[in-house]
């Protein structure tokens, strides 16, 4: 772009250049920091003329925790490398590097203490950057780990000390000419040198802004580029600028963090009305033998005690390994003890002691789910969650995309009520140490097994009704989609849609219709109702089915069309390339009205600035 | 009037057009008809060869014009121009501001704040972008599952 603050012919090294070189391996790890700093330096190097020996004063105050927190190994010291001489070119600046040899080692070498914090202060003159020094080998280490970059943050000051991550306090005065604009790291503020040495070579004002970026900033940018993690974009905060909502709301981002659903506090199996047994296959055969026994005495007794009436349900659930702390107990149905065991003995079964079971299905990270494009297509992505014994359920894309922060996760757990077979799925989003319940669904995971004809018919009718209802949902969805397409194609432009279309020209109308027809594909249901018995024949783990639209972007699209911006700009000199304006404020008193109209029209229809 | 003719190849929508070498500069060019700085008509003699010229600059007005196709009469050439307001007022346009609806740039420098802000770094759905008629579908499993094996449950009344 045309940048008035960068003089013609000045070499511009952008952050992209720096990152590209780091990414492509053109610089070694140990050079990363140097190169990154040099990348910034390069912009001012061309005009970086010192009329007298510049004086740099640096005070570094590093407070270091125990060595493990920094990754420091025994024998390493953290020191400063300083560059000697009055050098105005980047290459020369880079090539002359000396380890500081201070008469007082305490001033420039900090040895990490073992497990105890230590702090040192340096007062050093000269240009500088940070390096590591291997004390054992008495040389600079050429393999600087990343942690050292995060530690080594160089900056300047305005007279006051500046704190970087509680690690380094810096104060530096630099000799330079006035006002340089730097290429900022995307998402960060631009840097400006407001003043350096004045015409009479006296220091008149120093405000370097952020003269250097820390390695963290580079790392953030790398993350952005690699779509791994996203550095926060710092938008202007005012609600009235182009980034705000424009209203007078409080714009509060406060939110509560929720606990996981804890289930009911009442254990129904402790109340004495119902009992839940976990019989084995052999136990079941014994129970059946008792129920259908031809023993006369037993049948007389059963006629009076009606054990059938007291069997509430009989089925199976996906609970293998989850029923703990059971006790062995003789089967008593109502007030009738079962005597179907060997030689007419009592039937001893595992008795379940708690009807509530919680199962955590683990988490999926934001990286696995969210932000594929980092654009509107992500919001048009459909996230369909399969939940065992429930079926497919749609989750709002916004709920998923919201978690794409540094620690964003989606967690799913379920509660099962053994008494009824009810299963409740809770879907949580975890982001920035906040948990939110974004959805809850219920189903039934008890697969019933009939023990009588009436029992079977009841069960069958329930399953049939559920199946019909589920299929009807699918039919309804297909019908709605077809209806939507039909409305569009039939030219049903009533109401607001009609107004919009009437504003558009004929070609625009047709394009919009075409676009709707292209995108309004029929939506198909993936499954009917899969509760109970049918659910046990389907997948038993939750999973996402993610359907992403694919955008068709022609080559050079941005060059010929631009992309929607919606941004305010005070001077168009701050932007380059193809630009369309929505509203313009022209300050051209000499132009005629006809010219003003022509200029406005030119800017609104598109101009290559 | 002093008129300099050029042959330009830039897209008419380019603000600051590359003029290249001037083809011809004529002095004392007369205007025909009323003075119209937006679409002036120039009278030129027949011996002037402007076959390659498609653009001209009127020095006295400091304005640039597209040359519309030549017409002649008995007196010589009549050249009609239409002002290129982009080129003529490029400096003033650059100093003007407003709301950008679309742009190619990915960053916007705000001179009033001395800061550079990110442009829209993502595509917004509009009628200039189309989606393909297919979707990319993938499945992401949660790490854990309900047990593969079932347990028989018998629920009865009783103490």
Domain ranges in chain A are 15-226, 268-354, 358-547, 557-608
Residue A209: pLDDT over 80: no
Closest CA to A416 of A540, A519, A591: A540
Residue A413: both structure tokens together: 């757990």
Q: Does B18 touch chain A (CB under 8 A)?
A: no
Of all residues in chain A, the one with the smallest CA distance to B99 is A568
Which chain B residues are within 8 Å of A273, Cβ to Cβ?
157
Decide if A396 contacts A381 (C-beta within 8 A). Answer: no
Provide the b/e sequence for A4-22 (b: ≥16 CB within 10 Å): eebeeeeeebbbeebbebb
Task: Looking at the complex, report in whole angstroms how far the Cα of residue B75 sits from the nearest Cα belonging to chain A.
Answer: 31
What number is the average pLDDT over the span B17-30? 90
The model's pLDDT over A128-144, given as tens digits with 9 standing for 90+, comes to 333 334 444 454 433 32
Q: Encode pLDDT of B41-83 as tens digits.
A: 988 887 788 888 899 999 999 999 998 876 666 666 788 899 9
- pLDDT at B13 (0 to 100): 94
Nearest to B123 among A314, A349, A563 (CB): A563
Residue A358 confidence (pLDDT): 92
Contact B144 A317 (CB under 8 A): no
Which residues does chain A have within 8 Å of residue B149's beta carbon, measured at their own beta carbons? Answer: 318, 320-321
Determine the residue among A316, A451, A570, A577 to mutate to test chain B binding: the one whose Cβ has the most chain B Cβ atoms within 10 Å: A570
Domain around B21:
3-88
CB–CB contact B96 A571 (8 Å):
yes
- For an interface test with B, the pick among A180, A568, A574 (most B C-beta atoms closer than 10 Å) comes out as A574
Residue A463 has pLDDT above 70, yes or no: no
pLDDT class of B118 with cuts at 50, 70, 90:
low
By C-alpha distance, the chain A residue nearest B153 is A278
> Which of A445, A541, A565 lies nearest to residue B101, judging by beta carbons?
A565
Closest by CA to A415, choosing from A351, A364, A355, A350, is A355
- Asked whether residue B23 is domain-assigned, the answer is yes
Residue A503 has pLDDT above 90, yes or no: no
Distances from the Cα of A117 to the Cα of A110, A135, A437, angstroms? 11, 19, 42
Comparing C-alpha atoms, which of B145, B71, B56 is closest to residue A539? B145
B104 to chain A: which residues are within 8 Å by CB? 558-559, 562-563, 576-579
- Chain B closest-CA separation from residue A295 CA (Å): 22
Residue A13: what pLDDT?
A: 43
Count of domains forming chain B: 1
Give the pTM: 0.54
d(CA A174, CA A48): 10
SS (H, E, C) chain B: CCEEEECCCCCCCECCCCCCCCCEEECCCEECCCCCCCCCEEEECCCCCCCCCCEEEECCCCEEEEECCCEEECCEEEEEEEECHHHHCHHHHHCCEEEEEEECCCEEEECCCCEEEECCCCCCCCCCCEEEEEEEEEEEECCCCCCCCCEEEEEEEEC
Of A2-16, A298-312, A350-364, A547-561, give the lowest mean pLDDT range: A2-16
Cβ-defined contact of B157 to A584 (cutoff 8 Å): no
Which chain A residues are within 8 Å of B130, Cβ to Cβ?
A: 515, 518, 551-552
Higher pLDDT, A209 or A320: A320
pLDDT digits (tens, 9 = 90+) for A371-416: 777 667 777 788 899 999 999 998 888 888 777 654 578 899 999 9
- Any chain A CB within 8 A of the CB of B43? no
Candidates B98, B130, B133; nearest CB to A569: B98
pLDDT band at A258; cut points 50, 70, 90: confident
> Which of A10-19, A419-428, A446-455, A463-472 has the highest mean predicted lDDT (pLDDT)?
A419-428
Per-residue pLDDT tens over the stretch A85-97 = 332 332 322 222 2
Chain A residue closest to B100 (CA)? Answer: A581
Residues B124-157: pLDDT tens digits? 666 676 666 677 788 999 988 999 999 999 999 8
Q: Which of A4, A553, A592 sits opposite B38 (nearest CB)?
A: A592
Look-up of token digits 């990154």: A36
* pLDDT for the residue numbered A595: 93
B102 touches chain A (CB under 8 A): yes
| Mean of the per-residue pLDDT values of chain A | 59
Contact with chain A for residue B98, Cβ under 8 A? yes
Judge: B157–A334 Cβ closer than 8 Å, yes or no. Answer: yes
Find the closest chain A residue to B139 by CA distance.
A545
Predicted complex: ipTM over 0.90: no
Q: Which two tokens stand for residue A182?
A: 């730097």
Q: Is A23 helix (H, G, I), strand (E, B) or coil?
A: helix
Determine the distance in angstroms separating the CA of A430 from the nearest CA of chain B, rounded to an integer: 15
Query: How distant is the Cα of A120 from the closest Cα of chain B, in angstroms?
Result: 36
Inter-chain residue contact A419 with B155, CB threshold 8 Å: yes
Q: Using the predicted structure, report yes or no on whether residue A64 has a pLDDT greater than 60.
A: no
Q: What pLDDT, on a 0 to 100 scale, did the predictor assign at position B102?
A: 87
Q: B117 and A281: CB-CB below 8 Å?
A: no
Contact of A298 with A451, CB cutoff 8 Å: no
A247 pLDDT band, cuts 50/70/90, is low
What's the pLDDT score for residue A382?
Answer: 87
Asked, for residue B68, whether it belongs to a domain, the answer is: yes
pLDDT of residue A550: 79
pLDDT for A319 equals: 92
CB contact under 8 A, A594 and B143: no
B107 touches chain A (CB under 8 A): yes
Residue A568 has a pLDDT of 85
Distance from CA of B18 to the nearest CA of A (A): 13
Q: Which residues of chain B have a CB within 8 Å of the CB of A323? A: 151
Q: How far is B31 from chain A, CA to nearest CA, in Å? A: 19
Residue A376, CB-side half-sphere exposure with 13 Å CA sphere: 12
Is the Cβ of B34 closer than 8 Å to some Cβ of chain A? no
Q: In this model, does residue A287 exceed pLDDT 80?
A: yes
Residues of chain B found within 8 Å of residue A583, distances taken between Cβ atoms:
98-99
Q: Given an 8 Å threshold on Cβ–Cβ distance, is A586 in contact with B93?
A: yes
The three-state secondary structure class of A413 is strand
Q: Angle at the Cα of A180 (from A176 to A185), degrees rounded to 5?
A: 120
> What average pLDDT does range A270-277 have in this prediction?
90
In this structure, what token pair is assigned to residue A344?
A: 């007419």
Interface A-B, measured as beta-carbon pairs within 8 A, has a size of 382
pLDDT at B68: 85
Bridge partners for A99 per DSSP: A81
Q: What is the pLDDT of residue B32?
A: 85
- What's the pLDDT score for residue A249? 61
pLDDT, tens digit, for every residue of A31-58? 333 333 333 322 222 232 322 333 333 3
Share of chain A above pLDDT 90, in %: 15
**A335 contacts A305 by C-beta, under 8 angstroms:** yes
């Amino acid at each position: 772009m045309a940048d008035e603050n960068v003089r013609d012919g000045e070499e511009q090294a952008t952050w992209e250049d720096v990152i590209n070189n780091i990414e492509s391996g053109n610089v070694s790890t140990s050079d990363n920091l140097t190169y990154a700093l040099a990348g910034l330096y390069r912009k001012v190097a061309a005009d970086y003329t010192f009329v007298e020996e510049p004086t740099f004063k640096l005070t570094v105050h590093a407070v270091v925790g125990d060595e493990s927190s920094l990754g420091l190994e025994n024998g390493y010291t953290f020191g400063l490398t300083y560059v000697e001489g009055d050098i105005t070119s980047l290459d020369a600046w880079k090539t002359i590097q000396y380890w500081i040899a201070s008469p007082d080692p305490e001033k420039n070498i900090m040895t990490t203490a073992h497990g105890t914090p230590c702090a040192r202060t340096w007062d050093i003159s000269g240009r500088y950057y940070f390096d590591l020094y291997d004390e054992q080998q008495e040389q600079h280490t050429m393999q600087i780990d990343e942690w050292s970059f995060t530690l080594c943050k160089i900056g300047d000051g305005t007279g006051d000390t500046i704190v970087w991550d509680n690690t380094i306090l810096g104060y530096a005065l630099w000799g330079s000419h006035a006002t340089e604009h730097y290429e900022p790291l995307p998402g960060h503020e631009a840097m400006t040198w407001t003043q350096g040495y004045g015409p009479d070579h006296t220091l008149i004002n120093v405000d370097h802004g952020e003269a250097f970026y820390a390695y963290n900033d580079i790392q953030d940018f790398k993350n952005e580029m690699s779509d791994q993690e996203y550095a926060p974009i710092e938008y202007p905060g005012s609600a009235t600028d182009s980034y705000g909502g424009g209203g007078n709301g409080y714009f509060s981002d406060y939110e509560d963090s929720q606990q996981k659903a804890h289930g009911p506090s009442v254990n129904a199996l402790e109340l004495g009305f119902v009992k839940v047994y976990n019989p084995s296959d052999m136990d079941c055969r014994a129970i059946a033998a008792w129920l259908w026994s031809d023993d006369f005495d037993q049948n007389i007794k059963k006629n009076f005690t009606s054990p059938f009436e007291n069997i509430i349900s009989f089925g199976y659930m996906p609970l293998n390994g989850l029923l703990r702390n059971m006790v062995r107990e003789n089967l008593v149905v109502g007030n009738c003890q079962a005597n179907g065991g060997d030689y007419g003995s009592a039937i001893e079964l595992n008795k379940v002691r708690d009807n509530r079971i919680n199962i955590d299905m683990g988490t999926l990270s934001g990286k696995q789910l969210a932000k594929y494009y980092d654009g509107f297509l992500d919001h048009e992505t459909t996230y369909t969650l399969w939940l065992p014994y429930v079926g497919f359920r749609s989750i709002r894309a916004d709920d998923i995309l919201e978690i794409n922060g540094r620690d964003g996760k989606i967690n799913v757990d379920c509660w099962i009520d053994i008494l009824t077979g009810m299963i409740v799925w809770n879907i949580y989003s975890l982001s920035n140490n906040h948990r939110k319940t974004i959805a809850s669904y219920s189903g039934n995971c008890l697969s019933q097994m009939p023990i009588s004809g009436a029992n079977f018919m009841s069960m069958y009718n329930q399953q049939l009704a559920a199946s019909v209802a589920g299929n009807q949902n699918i039919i309804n969805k297909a019908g709605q989609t077809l209806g939507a397409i039909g409305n569009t194609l039939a030219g049903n432009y009533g109401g607001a849609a009609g107004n919009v279309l009437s504003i558009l020209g004929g070609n625009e109308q047709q394009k919009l219709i075409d676009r709707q027809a292209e995108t309004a594909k029929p939506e198909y249901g993936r499954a009917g109702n899969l509760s109970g018995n049918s659910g046990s024949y389907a997948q038993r783990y939750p999973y996402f089915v993610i359907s992403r639209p694919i955008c068709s972007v022609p080559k050079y699209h941005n060059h010929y069309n631009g992309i929607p911006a919606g941004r305010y700009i005070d001077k168009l000199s701050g932007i380059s390339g193809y630009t369309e304006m929505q509203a313009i404020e022209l300050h051209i008193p000499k132009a005629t009205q006809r010219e003003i109209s022509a200029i406005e029209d030119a800017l609104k229809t598109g101009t290559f600035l | 009037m002093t008129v300099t003719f050029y042959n330009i190849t830039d897209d008419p929508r380019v603000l600051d057009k590359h003029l290249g070498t001037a083809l011809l500069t004529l002095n004392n060019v007369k205007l025909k008809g009323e003075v119209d700085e937006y679409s002036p008509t120039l009278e030129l003699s027949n011996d002037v060869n402007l076959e390659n010229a498609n653009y001209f600059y009127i020095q006295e007005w400091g304005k640039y014009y597209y040359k519309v196709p030549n017409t002649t009469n008995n007196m010589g050439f009549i050249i009609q121009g239409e002002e290129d307001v982009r080129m003529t007022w490029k400096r003033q346009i650059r100093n003007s501001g407003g709301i950008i609806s679309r742009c190619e740039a990915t960053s916007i420098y705000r001179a009033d704040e001395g800061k550079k802000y990110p442009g829209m770094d993502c595509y917004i759905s509009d009628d200039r972008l189309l989606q393909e008629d297919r979707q990319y579908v993938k499945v992401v499993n949660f790490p854990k599952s309900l047990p593969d094996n079932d347990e028989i449950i018998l629920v009865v009344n009783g103490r």
